[in-house]
Structure 1
């Protein structure tokens, strides 16, 4: 099939999908007529495509390809729908027209690959689906056997009319629906009704088992098995032939056509304005040409006027006059380059000669010729190299001393400059004692055990909130314990904040978001604890 024909069919599939998506209720007669005509047009296009393929490929080869069988099935259903349009109850055939969307997979390589991956994983998913169905069946039977009688006898507890509600476990069908609803995540309402008619213990056990085994295990295994098929290797895999499909070829042709059109338009615009530009540039070209001729004639006159020439021994002709000195011409430079027998001495830069180390030795070549030869062999290590390779020196790793972190400055530079009392000498006196205290607090705060202890206190403080409910005012003992515990936690967190102030300093502490959060929480707890009339629940919040 021609790529442009395939592109046209793909566009028709997309338009047909849009037409089907525009159907709604109620529709005006005009709009319904437009959709009906559109359905007839698209059905005719797809039918013509199928018959053209049958004629071109022969029915035997046509039905050898899976996509052609799929097209034939959809077209047959569309023709059947048109022939039975007046028959009631057969409007369901219209829904099969939606299957035409899957024809996009034929020209969409990624969608085609995803459909193949899902199709290849159907076998493994089928076994897991059977396991899921068995689990649903087992729990439906268990629910009917355990709670069916209770739903019938205690129905008045959940229904004022003493009639079975919509969701119950009196029979297998409704019990199956409840289990399916639990697997969908809607289990709170049905479990509450079960607890009302059959008690809390057994209902909790059964519903939790359905949630854990059915939902959290089997369904997650189902998803894991499906997602395992979408590995990176499968997604990165290409077609076996590696050829482009017709849709890609048609897009490339369209791009080439657009590029060709741009080139032609550009060439036409250049040809249209070329004559106009040439007319504007022509006077300038004539002026430049006249100026060049004048310069050439003047130069020749100067050379003839100062006609004293001298032939050097090396074949170089030079002029004596001042105006000719700028026109020195080397007549034999080409022969100089092409002469293979010519030897030229050129100076060698320091550090490039292979014999520079020999000339600097104090020992003469006569007294130690062999040593000089060895020196020569050592220094001339490679032919064709202008710089000797220096012997490799093993780098000795330098051990860096361990860096001990010290506390940062307590105050900013502006504060220290304005208030001289903030600047202390840490080498002697009280300043030294203060510095030792800060380093000690820094070591304590940075220790892992301190962080673990604070986290443990946070967990205990959070756990204490679980004992605070609407009945805490009636339980004086628990209330007293919680009040003392709250004070202890408050003092611990205040001590933590003071240690961090001393260790980190105000600059580092108040430039950290987490430290700000700690400061606000401690400030709130301190303010709430200082007011005895504040309820305990407000303090916890």
Structure 2
């Protein structure tokens, strides 16, 4: 709604003092107040380190602070640029909507490789700009008089904006009044279009796409890991030993599981006899201090031992059982 109001204000351009301008000012003050209240709640709920460690929360703080400053200094001349920063409040959606957050993270993760590709592209354009100044500067000073002119011309050619009709063909007419194609100019422009317009720009897009896919997979894997951790944390203990099994479920191998089971048995076998009965097993499980604690009943012990089939004549159970 705030972004739509900014768009409408930029489109209508209401005059100062008009009812429309007053309405937009009131809407902006209302949105600023809502954002400030939300920021205060976030700051109160995540004081202080969690708030400061979250980049989106810091971004909210900067935007809201600038909005409040622009609102309080509305009559001061020369501070109109503060109003421009308020339009960036729509970027707060990137931190709240998963789809936008995924795109934003993919773009930020691709900054370095894309910057490397753009650096190479810049160097190639600079080389062609220097060559263009030397070859075509006297003939076409509007496009190749200086390096800056020539570099911008190379950028124009990259976009495909009238480079043949406005730049290349007038040079053909200058060097070949008969109307023939000038070979030097033709090789220069065709080589640049093939190398930069068709190849290097595609490389930049490919690098961005590759990093976007990798970031998307990383985001998906992180979401799946968080979901699994949440499911494990919210698991409800149904069986008598479920709290213990939830602790042992992250074993790395069968040997690791065997060692964990042996450690639990030794914790219950406090006398070191190699056997546990109902009483020692109940006390040993209670001494593990699990959450929730295991309160083993006689009925549970009967179920675990298959009604005593896994026990000896005295009701004891060995580690092998």
Contact 1:147 1:198 in 2 (8 A): no
Q: 2:82 aligns with which of 78, 89, 93?
A: 93
User: What do the CA deviations read for 1:19-68 (whole angstroms, capped 9, x no partner)?
Assistant: 11101244251111111111111111111222232233223331111111
Counterparts of residues 426-445 of structure 1 (less than 5 Å): none
SS of match in other structure, 2:53? coil
CA separation in 2, counterparts of 1:90 and 1:195? Answer: 51
The change in CA–CA distance for 1:89 and 1:191 in structure 2 (over 3 A counts) is farther
1:16 aligns with 2:2: yes
CA separation in 1, counterparts of 2:34 and 2:52? Answer: 19
CA separation in 1, counterparts of 2:214 and 2:143? Answer: 46
Question: Based on CA coordinates, which of the two structures has the bigger radius of gyration?
Answer: 1
Q: 2:168 aligns with which of 185, 188, 191?
A: 191
CA separation in 1, counterparts of 2:215 and 2:46? Answer: 35
Contact 2:109 2:215 in 1 (8 A): no
CA separation in 2, counterparts of 1:198 and 1:48? Answer: 69
**Residue equivalent to 2:204:** 222
**Residue equivalent to 2:59:** 70
Higher relative contact order (CA 8 A, sep 6+): 2
Greater shift in the superposed pair: 82-91 or 195-204? 82-91
Counterparts of residues 51-130 of structure 1 (less than 5 Å): 51-130=40-119
TM-score, structure 2 as length reference: 0.62
1:170 aligns with 2:134: no
Contact 2:106 2:215 in 1 (8 A): no
CA separation in 2, counterparts of 1:120 and 1:106? Answer: 15
Instruction: Tell me how far 1:211 sits from its aligned partner.
Output: 0.6
The change in CA–CA distance for 1:87 and 1:181 in structure 2 (over 3 A counts) is farther
Q: 1:50 aligns with which of 31, 39, 62?
A: 39
Contact 1:136 1:179 in 2 (8 A): yes
User: What do the CA deviations read for 1:441-461 (whole angstroms, capped 9, x no partner)?
Assistant: xxxxxxxxxxxxxxxxxxxxx
SS of match in other structure, 1:90? coil
**Residue equivalent to 2:14:** 27
SS of match in other structure, 2:212? coil
The change in CA–CA distance for 1:102 and 1:128 in structure 2 (over 3 A counts) is same
SS of match in other structure, 2:138? helix
The change in CA–CA distance for 1:60 and 1:234 in structure 2 (over 3 A counts) is closer
Counterparts of residues 291-370 of structure 1 (less than 5 Å): none
**Residue equivalent to 2:227:** 242
User: What do the CA deviations read for 1:127-184 (whole angstroms, capped 9, x no partner)?
Assistant: 11111111111111111111112235xxxxxxxxxxxxxx421111211111110001
Contact 1:62 1:68 in 2 (8 A): yes
Contact 2:126 2:151 in 1 (8 A): yes
Instruction: Tell me how far 1:101 sits from its aligned partner.
Output: 1.7
The change in CA–CA distance for 1:72 and 1:207 in structure 2 (over 3 A counts) is same
Contact 2:168 2:189 in 1 (8 A): yes
Instruction: Tell me how far 1:87 sits from its aligned partner.
Output: 4.0
SS of match in other structure, 2:75? coil
SS of match in other structure, 2:144? coil
Q: 2:156 aligns with which of 173, 181, 195?
A: 181
Greater shift in the superposed pair: 59-68 or 183-192? 59-68
Instruction: Tell me how far 1:232 sits from its aligned partner.
Output: 8.2
CA separation in 1, counterparts of 2:56 and 2:19? Answer: 35
Counterparts of residues 190-209 of structure 1 (less than 5 Å): 190-199=167-176, 200-209=182-191
CA separation in 2, counterparts of 1:233 and 1:98? Answer: 27
